[in-house]
A and B are shown apart, each in its own frame.
Chain A
Amino acid sequence: MPVDPVFAADLANDLSAVDYVRLLHLFRQDVTQLSEAISRAAAAADEAGFRRAAHGLAGAAGAVGAQELEAACRTVMAPGHINEELAASAERIAALAAATLADIATALDRAAGR
């Protein structure tokens, strides 16, 4: 499951409804921008840019309990990735980001209905 349901429930509990929704929106915006940045860096073989974006995405994913996405980002942050691996990693991250965004959308719908 892209987003840890226990963590997500904790988060919803710890924050007011307004703050929770604001955070999810912020996260959705971050994930979209950062996964695009990762793809661009991989295409340009920009290893430093790739790592920087992966670091940002890992942080954002950690904030909402998107553990798989966070773990994938941290794995690729280590220096020394060759170009082919960058491209493959970017694809994997993009897929996980998409699944996470879907979970977030569900969470937002649920929040809107509660």
Chain B
Amino acid sequence: MSEEAPGRVLIIEDQQAQAELARLFIAGLGYEARIASSAAQAHDVALEWRPDGILLDIELPDYNGLELLSRLRAAGVDAVVVVVTASASMELAKQAIRAGAEDYVVKPYNRDRLGVTLRNALEKRTLSRTRRALESALDDTKTRLEAAKAQLGSTGYADFVGSSPKMRAVYDTLQGVAASKASVFITGESGTGKELAAEALHKMSPRARRTFVPLNCGAIPRDLLESEVFGHIKGAFTGATTDRVGAAKLSDGGTLFLDEIGEMPLEMQVKLLRFVQTGTFSPVGSSKLEKVDVRFVCATNRDPLLEIEAGRFREDLYYRLYVVPLELPPLRDRSEDVLLLARHFLAQFGQEERKAFTGFSPEAELMLLAYPWPGNVRQLQNVVRNIVVLNSGPVVEAGMIPAPVNRAGATPPARLAPPVPAPAPEPAPVAKLAPAPVPVQEPPAPHGVIVPAPEPEPAPAPAATLRVDPEQEILPLAEMERRMVLAALMRTGNDIPRAASLLEVNPSTIYRKMLQWRKDGLIPAETRR
């Protein structure tokens, strides 16, 4: 049997006899007790001794018990507080309850009365701790379920839509880092979803119940940025007519998202660095330091290392913030997500605009797939909204696709990789070189019925061991390319991403070529993936 006391109780009472009586009662109930006779002493003892319960007299010689209670809570003391009051100061006791005290006991009290009140309060504390532990376990389970869902091939994660390998890598990072307090540095082109990623991190973190404060450093005038981040006090500058709380304070316990951090002026970067290092700041015009618990998530569409090199971004700040890097891929590098996203937006905007759109026609889909999307997901989102607003549905036809997306098939987009080689003028050099063992197929049937390849997929052979058949039929390179693409599509059951993988090209290259071949009448209109 343990000899340990069932709990520690700090008695805050300036009146000697009253304090001693409480101590005798509490010790008699089996608790370990200490006495503090002033608010300042109580503050120190509470921080050092970490009591489970506090018996608090409201009227203290230095400052009153309500203020002490608020200071203790701010300092993280989570002991249950039972206020001791004379009937004359019941109103104060009620105020104390509103300020976070658990219960009150009226003087004079006997041992039983004090014991019941104290035990109930401490029991509530135990229950509340148990509840918090259970909630935390539940949150963990939810997080793991989210991860499992993402891994089971869902088409999105948090508020993201996309199942491409690059996005799965993003989801993995989000999942891995969400529960930590580590700073996250998000890079990516405009429109790739940097703020969405920051919000996802916040929502999946233990800070989800507190505030997510986004701040676009590039959109705030230089002179106002410090006040936006740290707040100001009345009279700090012309126009500061009242105190104003800044983003740092608002995000206490939550997440502060500093978007376009590369736009932050250097002098402000120095102040931010101090804040990141110490967790403390002073509102503009105030000399009082405030301490907060903030998780930092930053984003930029610039290359941070180039910015450091150019002297526009402080290296020390960069290394403070660049703890976990997260790179969001441009949409052109995850073309397999284009249709998922387009359908998602079509459903969303169709519902918002009360229009019954059901999907995209094959031609329209090919146009979307062939376009490089320099404005990324945001541009796609805007294009789909434009289509929904200006048209009625139910199917989005190619004619509804606005410029410049509707010109995507006409010229190969410059940013698409890899570039398609031009057809060779003469066939001879092809034979002289060491070509891959091309399984030559019959040309497509007149109505585009693609004949399945009879042979199994050949394993890619190292260049040195390639066999060349000089008797092989020689065809224009463009024709061979078309046949290869169609063969790959047949072999993969018209799965364009897989076919692209076999051919080691970007899926959008196949989409673009099919669009062009269809325009040129080289494959029938109904042939699609």
Contact = CB atoms under 8 A, between A and B. Distances in A.
Interface string A8-45: 00110011000100110011011000000000000000
Contacts of B110: 7, 10-11, 14
Contacts, number: 67
A50 B48 CA distance: 34
Given A26-B16, A30-B15, A62 B59 contact: no
B61 to A, nearest CB: 7
Nearest to B61: A52
Contact of A74 (B25, B86, B108, B112): B86
Interface string B88-116: 10000000000000000001101110000
Interface residues of B, number: 21
Given A52-B61, A65-B108, A74-B86, A59 B24 contact: no
A65 B17 CA distance: 12
Nearest to A14: B111
Contacts of B17: 23, 26-27, 30, 59-60, 63-64
B476 interface: no
Interface string B1-37: 0000000000001111110110011001000000000
Contacts of A81: none
Contacts of A52: 61
A60 B24 contact: no
Contacts of B24: 15, 19, 23
Nearest to B110: A10
Contacts of B108: 7, 62-65, 67, 70
Interface of B: 13-18, 20-21, 24-25, 28, 57, 59, 61, 86, 88, 107-108, 110-112
Interface of A: 7, 10-11, 14-15, 19, 22-23, 26-27, 29-30, 52, 55-56, 58-60, 62-65, 67, 70, 74, 77
29 contacts: A10-B110, A11-B110, A14-B112, A15-B111, A19-B24, A22-B20, A23-B17, A30-B15, A30-B16, A30-B17, A52-B61, A55-B59, A56-B14, A56-B15, A59-B107, A60-B15, A62-B108, A63-B15, A63-B17, A63-B20, A63-B21, A63-B107, A64-B17, A64-B21, A67-B108, A70-B86, A70-B107, A74-B86, A74-B88
The 8 tightest CB contacts between A and B, nearest first, are A59-B15, A14-B111, A62-B107, A60-B17, A59-B18, A63-B18, A27-B17, A63-B17
